[in-house]
Amino acid sequence: MSTKEWREANKAELKARSKAWYEANKEEASAKRKAWYEANKIAVAAKKRAEYKADRDVFIARRRKWREANKEQDFSRKKEWREANREKVSAARKAWREANKERDSARRKEWRDATKDAKSAYDKEWREANRGRIAVRIRERNDAESRRTLVWANIAAIEEVYRDAAEFRGAGLDVHVDHIIPLRAKLASGLHVHQNLTIKLASWNISKGNKYVP
């Protein structure tokens, strides 16, 4: 009987022995595996790429099946990786959005439409729970605008910008009137004049925050 035939005939016993040895020598096994991988990682990566290309559908199905069976573990792994690679994730997302602007816009619109009711309910609940905070923000905003509105400002033109924004919202677009140069930025303070006003999607304006984006 050849060695290969013997192994086939005693597969269960060999597997049990291997498992027993591993349980008794986990640290040694882990160190050996790590050392071997470090010495052969280029060859391992090339082999995995070749196997993936040869059986892509099989690998995808297997990965999907594992994720379905291990949702919590999969989520935890991904979260941990994202936390450790924030800059890399941010750069990759930005690059993808730049390369897929239309697709990204359509996907965001689809998400907004699908979560409109839930977001509306959440916003209402948040406003009810934070009335004092909102009042302070509005007062601070109004004070800032009044201080940054010059005597020569064209009030009619300013009001027209806000009317245009109201019409967009009436048509179903979630927009904000944005100060191109913020009224209270760290490096520069803009004026509350129509030349410094623009209408932007609310999502963009919120992500921009109190920063100047040329």
Tell me the backbone φ, ψ of residue 183, rounded to 5 degrees. Answer: -70, -30
Question: Do residues 38 and 94 share a domain?
Answer: no
Whether residue 157 is contained in a domain is answered as yes
Question: Do residues 135 and 59 share a domain?
Answer: no
Span of 2-16, 36-50, 101-115 with lowest mean pLDDT: 2-16
Question: Do residues 7 and 43 share a domain?
Answer: yes
Domain that holds residue 38: 3-84
Residue with structure tokens 């290309």? 53
Question: Do residues 71 and 108 share a domain?
Answer: no
Residue 120 above 70 pLDDT? yes
Question: Do residues 165 and 143 share a domain?
Answer: yes
Whether residue 214 is contained in a domain is answered as no
Question: Do residues 70 and 124 share a domain?
Answer: no
pLDDT score for 95: 92
Q: What is the pLDDT of residues 59-107, one digit of tens each?
A: 889 989 999 999 999 999 898 998 899 899 889 988 998 999 899 888 8
Whether residue 213 is contained in a domain is answered as no
CA distance 193 to 99: 35
Q: What is the pLDDT of residues 15-31, one digit of tens each?
A: 888 888 888 888 888 88
Question: Do residues 122 and 203 share a domain?
Answer: yes
CA distance 143 to 156: 19
Report, as an integer, the average pLDDT of 149-173. 86
Question: Do residues 105 and 65 share a domain?
Answer: no
Whether residue 17 is contained in a domain is answered as yes
> Encoding tokens for residue 192?
């509350």
Residue with structure tokens 């729970």? 129
Question: Do residues 72 and 92 share a domain?
Answer: no
Question: Do residues 93 and 11 share a domain?
Answer: no
Local structure of residue 186 (DSSP, 8 states): S
Nearest to 184 by CA among 214, 151, 156, 143: 143
CA distance 34 to 28: 10
Sort strands 197-201 and 175-179 into parallel, antiparallel or unpaired. Answer: antiparallel
Question: Do residues 136 and 99 share a domain?
Answer: no
pLDDT score for 143: 66
Residue 214 above 70 pLDDT? no
Neighbours of 166 (CB within 10 A): 12
**How many structural domains compose the chain?**
3
Residue 140 above 70 pLDDT? no
Q: Is 102 helix (H, G, I), strand (E, B) or coil?
A: helix
The pLDDT-based confidence of 171 (bands split at 50, 70, 90) is confident
